[in-house]
Amino acid sequence: MSSVSNLAVVICHGSYHTPAPYHPLIEKLEAEGIDAYCPQLPTADLTKLNVGDVDHPDFDRDPPGGGYPQGEADTDVILGVLRPLVNDKGKDVLMIGHSSGGWVATEAAKHELQLKSRKEKGLSGGVIGILYLGAFIVPIGESIHSFFQPKDGSSITPPFMTFHKNGAAGLGTIVEAEKFIFNGLEESDAKKWAAGLTASPVLTTKLSNNAYEALPCACLVLEGDLTLPKDYQEGMIALQTQKTGRFERYYCPAGHSPHLSWTGGVVDIIKDFTHKIWGSLA
């Protein structure tokens, strides 16, 4: 059976984020002997969003000449981390998606990088599963935008975000981040992490990779989440379960950022889910 020494975790962070809030989780994983990575995704990278001075961003500027980065760019960044771990190091890799990063984790877990397909070719290592942390579980053929918005053609702006001068054709940012994103943290910590949030365009790339069907999947349901409430999380799991079978479910009392407010518990769940996957392969 594999061991944690051969395990790597690739974290796909949420919209409006940098990797910084995921460093406490990475540090705890590395203390357990688990390699962990969380690259900056282009859709939340101020240097790619035409905001001028990134230390004093202007969210009212027009989109960059080639348009805003979308899901394809995020996926390419994750694949740039994932492929060497699998192809060069033969690592068993658990994908983790937080919030909108659930879409990225699913799209990036390509067939040719999955453990089973590699084993059939006599190769070691590969993606062993996906763990969703309060994340979007988006059906095949849907984007985050199309899945979230009403099907009657109307549009809603969720209470945790606002658009700027160009509306939905421009950038959105988080409002009341201490309440919606970082609840459950000490006030000073919540303010610190809120100050580091970035921006995002509307995410319109459709999911094309049906990793749900091919890989073990689990979701950590965040019972205190005010961004994606518990019932909404449960509904996404139920919808996908009808199509591809059982999702492993875990629960915790945290708000939208369990990697900060419930870090040790997230590590325990990562280890538990990984051992269940390995056990099923033995």
- Bridge pairing between strands 126-133 and 92-98: parallel
Instruction: Give the pLDDT mean for 78-93.
Output: 97
CATH number at residue 215: 3.40.50.1820
Supply the DSSP symbol for 164: -
- pLDDT tops 90 at residue 155: no
Q: Distance (Å, rounded) from C-alpha 257 to C-alpha 21?
A: 9
User: How many other CB atoms sit within 10 Å of the CB of residue 251?
Assistant: 13
Q: What distance in Å separates the CA atoms of residue 225 and residue 236, rounded to the nearest whole number? A: 14
What is the pLDDT at residue 138?
97
Answer with the residue of higher pLDDT: 152 or 219. 219
Tokens of 130: 């996906």
Dump pLDDT digits (tens) for 225-256. Answer: 999 999 999 999 999 999 998 899 999 999 99
All residues at 6 or more sequence positions from 78 whose CB lies less than 8 Å from its CB, including other chains: 10, 12, 39, 41, 104, 105, 108
Q: How far is Cα 236 from Cα 136, in angstroms, rounded to an integer? A: 7
Domain span holding position 229: 4-281
C-alpha closest to that of 259 among 90, 74, 17, 64: 17
As beta bridge partners, residue 250 has 220
Task: Examine the pLDDT at 1 and tell me if it is beyond 60.
Answer: no
| Residue 209 structure tokens | 């990779």
Count the domains in the chain.
Answer: 1
pTM: 0.97
What pLDDT score does 2 carry? 73
